[in-house]
Protein backbone atom coordinates (compact mmCIF):
# COMPACT_ATOMS: atom_id res chain seq x y z
CA UNK A 1 0.00 0.00 0.00
CA UNK A 2 1.27 3.43 -0.82
CA UNK A 3 1.85 5.30 2.40
CA UNK A 4 0.33 8.48 1.07
CA UNK A 5 0.07 10.30 -2.22
CA UNK A 6 2.96 12.79 -2.10
CA UNK A 7 0.59 15.37 -0.65
CA UNK A 8 0.71 18.02 -3.34
CA UNK A 9 1.08 20.88 -0.90
CA UNK A 10 -0.26 20.57 2.60
CA UNK A 11 -1.96 23.87 3.21
CA UNK A 12 0.08 24.55 6.35
CA UNK A 13 0.97 28.18 6.85
CA UNK A 14 2.79 28.74 10.15
CA UNK A 15 0.86 30.82 12.65
CA UNK A 16 3.72 33.30 12.94
CA UNK A 17 3.55 33.85 9.21
CA UNK A 18 -0.21 34.40 9.26
CA UNK A 19 0.25 37.10 11.87
CA UNK A 20 2.69 38.95 9.60
CA UNK A 21 0.78 38.74 6.34
CA UNK A 22 -1.48 41.66 7.28
CA UNK A 23 1.60 43.75 7.95
CA UNK A 24 3.02 42.94 4.53
CA UNK A 25 -0.33 43.65 2.98
CA UNK A 26 -0.44 47.10 4.48
CA UNK A 27 3.08 47.89 3.36
CA UNK A 28 2.24 46.69 -0.15
CA UNK A 29 -0.90 48.77 -0.36
CA UNK A 30 1.06 51.79 0.69
CA UNK A 31 3.54 51.09 -2.11
CA UNK A 32 0.68 50.57 -4.52
CA UNK A 33 -0.77 53.96 -3.59
CA UNK A 34 2.57 55.50 -4.46
CA UNK A 35 2.45 53.82 -7.85
CA UNK A 36 5.25 51.31 -7.27
CA UNK A 37 4.97 48.34 -9.60
CA UNK A 38 7.54 45.91 -8.22
CA UNK A 39 9.41 45.63 -4.95
CA UNK A 40 12.34 43.56 -3.73
CA UNK A 41 12.15 41.47 -0.59
CA UNK A 42 14.75 43.76 0.91
CA UNK A 43 12.66 46.89 0.43
CA UNK A 44 9.38 45.32 1.41
CA UNK A 45 10.93 43.79 4.50
CA UNK A 46 12.30 47.12 5.53
CA UNK A 47 8.88 48.75 5.06
CA UNK A 48 7.31 46.04 7.16
CA UNK A 49 10.00 46.14 9.81
CA UNK A 50 11.20 42.54 9.44
CA UNK A 51 14.21 40.60 8.23
CA UNK A 52 14.20 40.02 4.47
CA UNK A 53 14.91 36.29 4.71
CA UNK A 54 11.91 35.97 7.00
CA UNK A 55 9.76 37.83 4.54
CA UNK A 56 10.85 35.62 1.66
CA UNK A 57 10.21 32.49 3.66
CA UNK A 58 6.80 33.77 4.68
CA UNK A 59 5.84 34.53 1.10
CA UNK A 60 7.19 31.20 -0.08
CA UNK A 61 4.44 29.53 1.94
CA UNK A 62 1.87 31.09 -0.34
CA UNK A 63 3.62 29.96 -3.48
CA UNK A 64 6.40 31.14 -5.71
CA UNK A 65 5.19 34.58 -6.60
CA UNK A 66 8.48 36.43 -7.06
CA UNK A 67 10.81 36.85 -10.03
CA UNK A 68 14.48 36.32 -9.37
CA UNK A 69 16.57 39.28 -10.26
CA UNK A 70 13.51 41.53 -10.11
CA UNK A 71 11.38 41.14 -7.04
CA UNK A 72 7.64 40.86 -6.48
CA UNK A 73 4.91 42.47 -8.52
CA UNK A 74 3.10 44.63 -6.01
CA UNK A 75 -0.41 44.30 -7.34
CA UNK A 76 -0.23 40.57 -7.80
CA UNK A 77 1.16 40.05 -4.31
CA UNK A 78 -1.57 42.22 -2.81
CA UNK A 79 -4.11 39.99 -4.48
CA UNK A 80 -2.48 36.75 -3.37
CA UNK A 81 -2.15 37.79 0.25
CA UNK A 82 -5.69 39.15 0.32
CA UNK A 83 -6.98 35.91 -1.05
CA UNK A 84 -5.00 33.85 1.43
CA UNK A 85 -6.28 35.91 4.33
CA UNK A 86 -9.83 35.65 3.10
CA UNK A 87 -10.20 39.35 2.44
CA UNK A 88 -11.67 38.87 -0.99
CA UNK A 89 -14.92 38.02 0.70
CA UNK A 90 -17.04 40.21 2.89
CA UNK A 91 -17.11 39.64 6.65
CA UNK A 92 -20.02 40.89 8.72
CA UNK A 93 -19.00 42.00 12.21
CA UNK A 94 -21.21 42.55 15.25
CA UNK A 95 -20.06 44.64 18.20
CA UNK A 96 -21.53 43.95 21.63
CA UNK A 97 -21.19 46.60 24.34
CA UNK A 98 -21.54 50.09 22.95
CA UNK A 99 -19.67 52.01 25.63
CA UNK A 100 -16.51 54.08 25.29
CA UNK A 101 -14.63 51.51 23.34
CA UNK A 102 -17.49 49.99 21.37
CA UNK A 103 -18.46 53.43 20.13
CA UNK A 104 -14.89 54.21 19.10
CA UNK A 105 -14.74 51.00 17.10
CA UNK A 106 -18.13 51.61 15.52
CA UNK A 107 -17.07 55.09 14.45
CA UNK A 108 -13.76 53.93 13.09
CA UNK A 109 -13.69 54.01 9.33
CA UNK A 110 -10.62 51.89 8.79
CA UNK A 111 -12.31 48.49 8.76
CA UNK A 112 -14.53 48.74 5.73
CA UNK A 113 -11.51 49.12 3.52
CA UNK A 114 -10.51 45.50 3.99
CA UNK A 115 -13.59 43.40 3.62
CA UNK A 116 -14.88 43.96 7.14
CA UNK A 117 -18.30 45.48 7.51
CA UNK A 118 -19.84 46.44 10.81
CA UNK A 119 -23.26 44.93 10.49
CA UNK A 120 -24.73 45.34 13.96
CA UNK A 121 -24.33 47.01 17.34
CA UNK A 122 -25.80 45.45 20.47
CA UNK A 123 -26.07 46.52 24.10
CA UNK A 124 -27.93 45.50 27.25
CA UNK A 125 -28.63 49.00 28.50
CA UNK A 126 -32.19 50.15 27.62
CA UNK A 127 -30.91 53.73 27.42
CA UNK A 128 -28.49 52.69 24.74
CA UNK A 129 -30.88 50.60 22.69
CA UNK A 130 -32.47 52.51 19.86
CA UNK A 131 -29.77 55.15 19.74
CA UNK A 132 -28.03 55.61 16.46
CA UNK A 133 -24.27 55.15 16.45
CA UNK A 134 -22.28 55.46 13.26
CA UNK A 135 -25.50 55.24 11.23
CA UNK A 136 -26.55 51.99 12.87
CA UNK A 137 -29.35 51.45 15.34
CA UNK A 138 -28.18 49.91 18.58
CA UNK A 139 -30.21 46.73 19.12
CA UNK A 140 -30.91 44.99 22.37
CA UNK A 141 -28.66 42.07 23.22
CA UNK A 142 -31.70 39.77 23.35
CA UNK A 143 -31.83 40.03 19.58
CA UNK A 144 -28.33 38.64 19.19
CA UNK A 145 -29.40 35.35 17.64
CA UNK A 146 -31.80 37.08 15.25
CA UNK A 147 -29.23 39.64 14.23
CA UNK A 148 -26.50 37.09 13.66
CA UNK A 149 -28.78 35.09 11.43
CA UNK A 150 -30.34 37.93 9.50
CA UNK A 151 -27.13 39.86 8.91
CA UNK A 152 -24.94 36.83 8.39
CA UNK A 153 -22.56 37.86 11.16
CA UNK A 154 -19.46 35.70 11.29
CA UNK A 155 -17.18 37.74 13.54
CA UNK A 156 -18.16 38.92 17.00
CA UNK A 157 -16.46 41.74 18.87
CA UNK A 158 -16.90 41.96 22.63
CA UNK A 159 -16.50 45.35 24.32
CA UNK A 160 -18.64 44.80 27.39
CA UNK A 161 -17.37 44.94 30.96
CA UNK A 162 -15.38 41.87 32.01
CA UNK A 163 -18.25 40.41 34.01
CA UNK A 164 -20.52 40.14 30.97
CA UNK A 165 -17.97 38.96 28.45
CA UNK A 166 -18.20 35.21 29.02
CA UNK A 167 -21.98 35.29 28.72
CA UNK A 168 -21.82 37.22 25.48
CA UNK A 169 -19.18 34.86 24.11
CA UNK A 170 -21.33 31.85 24.88
CA UNK A 171 -24.31 33.41 23.15
CA UNK A 172 -22.18 34.22 20.13
CA UNK A 173 -21.03 30.63 19.93
CA UNK A 174 -24.52 29.27 20.32
CA UNK A 175 -25.68 31.57 17.57
CA UNK A 176 -23.04 30.08 15.29
CA UNK A 177 -20.31 32.73 15.44
CA UNK A 178 -16.97 31.02 15.68
CA UNK A 179 -14.58 33.97 15.44
CA UNK A 180 -14.45 36.30 18.41
CA UNK A 181 -12.36 39.35 19.16
CA UNK A 182 -12.40 40.10 22.87
CA UNK A 183 -11.45 43.41 24.48
CA UNK A 184 -12.63 42.53 27.96
CA UNK A 185 -9.90 41.54 30.40
CA UNK A 186 -11.00 37.95 30.98
CA UNK A 187 -10.05 34.55 29.66
CA UNK A 188 -12.96 33.30 27.60
CA UNK A 189 -13.95 29.69 27.68
CA UNK A 190 -15.20 28.42 24.36
CA UNK A 191 -15.60 25.02 22.71
CA UNK A 192 -13.03 23.61 20.33
CA UNK A 193 -13.29 25.01 16.87
CA UNK A 194 -14.05 28.52 18.07
CA UNK A 195 -11.30 31.04 17.51
CA UNK A 196 -10.85 33.73 20.15
CA UNK A 197 -8.33 36.52 19.93
CA UNK A 198 -7.90 39.10 22.62
CA UNK A 199 -6.72 42.66 22.66
CA UNK A 200 -5.62 43.74 26.07
CA UNK A 201 -4.22 47.20 26.57
CA UNK A 202 -3.50 46.64 30.17
CA UNK A 203 -1.25 43.69 29.36
CA UNK A 204 0.61 45.72 26.77
CA UNK A 205 1.28 48.46 29.28
CA UNK A 206 2.51 45.95 31.82
CA UNK A 207 4.95 44.47 29.33
CA UNK A 208 6.23 47.95 28.55
CA UNK A 209 6.62 48.61 32.27
CA UNK A 210 8.61 45.43 32.73
CA UNK A 211 11.13 46.40 30.08
CA UNK A 212 11.26 50.01 31.24
CA UNK A 213 12.01 48.86 34.75
CA UNK A 214 14.71 46.54 33.50
CA UNK A 215 16.35 49.37 31.57
CA UNK A 216 16.26 51.53 34.66
CA UNK A 217 17.66 48.73 36.80
CA UNK A 218 20.50 48.21 34.39
CA UNK A 219 21.71 51.74 34.95
CA UNK A 220 22.20 51.24 38.64
CA UNK A 221 22.77 47.54 38.66
CA UNK A 222 26.35 47.85 39.90
CA UNK A 223 25.00 47.83 43.44
CA UNK A 224 23.09 44.64 42.82
CA UNK A 225 26.10 42.81 41.47
CA UNK A 226 28.13 44.06 44.43
CA UNK A 227 26.11 42.09 46.89
CA UNK A 228 22.56 43.34 47.30
CA UNK A 229 21.38 40.06 45.84
CA UNK A 230 21.62 38.13 49.11
CA UNK A 231 18.07 38.78 50.22
Partner DNA sequence: CCCACTTTGTGCGTGCTTTCACAAGCACGT
Partner DNA sequence: ACGTGCTTGTGAAAGCACGCACAAAGTGGG
Would you tell me how many other CB atoms lie within 10 Å of the CB of residue 157?
Answer: 23
Residue partners of 170: CB distance under 8 A and separation at least 6:
190
For residue 4, the minimal CB distance to DNA (Å) is 8
Quick one: 3 or 69, whose CB is closer to its own copies? 3
Each residue 129-148 as x (binds ligand NAD by CB under 6 A) or -, in order, gives ------------x-------
DSSP states along the chain: --S----TT-----HHHHHHHHHHHHHHHHHHHTT--EE-HHHHHHHHTS-HHHHHHHHHTT---EETTTEEEHHHHHHHHHHHHTTTS-EEEEEE--SHHHHHHHH-TTTGGGTEEEEEEEES-TTTTT-EETTEEEEEGGGHHHHHHHHTEEEEEE-S-HHHHHHHHHHHHHTT--EEEE-SSSPPP--TT-EEEE--HHHHHHHHHHHHHHHHHHHTTHHIIIIIT--
Among residues 19, 57, 90, 125, which is the contact residue for ligand NAD, using CB under 6 A?
Answer: 125
Tell me how many residues contact ligand NAD (CB under 6 A): 28
101 annotated binding-site participant: yes
Residue 214 sits in the site that holds DNA (CB under 7 A): no
Interface region with DNA, contact rule CB under 7 A, candidates 14-22, 101-109, 148-156, 201-209 = 14-22
How many residues bind DNA (CB under 7 A)? The answer is 26
Beta strands at 136-140 and 66-67: parallel, antiparallel or unpaired: unpaired
Shortest reach from residue 47's CB to its own copies, in Å: 7
Residues that bind its own copies (CB under 8 A): 8-9, 11, 18-19, 21-23, 25-27, 47-49, 84-87, 89, 91, 93, 100-101, 103-105, 107-108, 110-111, 114-116, 154-155, 178-181, 185, 187, 189, 193, 195, 197, 199-215, 229
Nearest-angstrom CA–CA distance, 224 and 75:
55
CB of 134 to DNA, least distance (A): 36
Question: Based on CB atoms, which residue is closest to its own copies, 3 or 89?
Answer: 89
Binding residues vs DNA (CB under 7 A): 14-17, 39-42, 50-54, 56-57, 59-60, 64-72
Contact positions toward ligand NAD, by CB under 6 A? Answer: 96-102, 104-105, 108, 110, 122-125, 128, 141, 159-162, 164, 167-168, 183-185, 201
Amino acid sequence: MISRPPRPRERGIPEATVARLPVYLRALQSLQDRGTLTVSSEDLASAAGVNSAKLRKDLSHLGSYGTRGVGYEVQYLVYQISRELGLTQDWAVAIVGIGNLGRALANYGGFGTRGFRIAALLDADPEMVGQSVASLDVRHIDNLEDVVRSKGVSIGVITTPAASAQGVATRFVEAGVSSILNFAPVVLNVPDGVDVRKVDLSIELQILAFHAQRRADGDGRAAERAGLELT
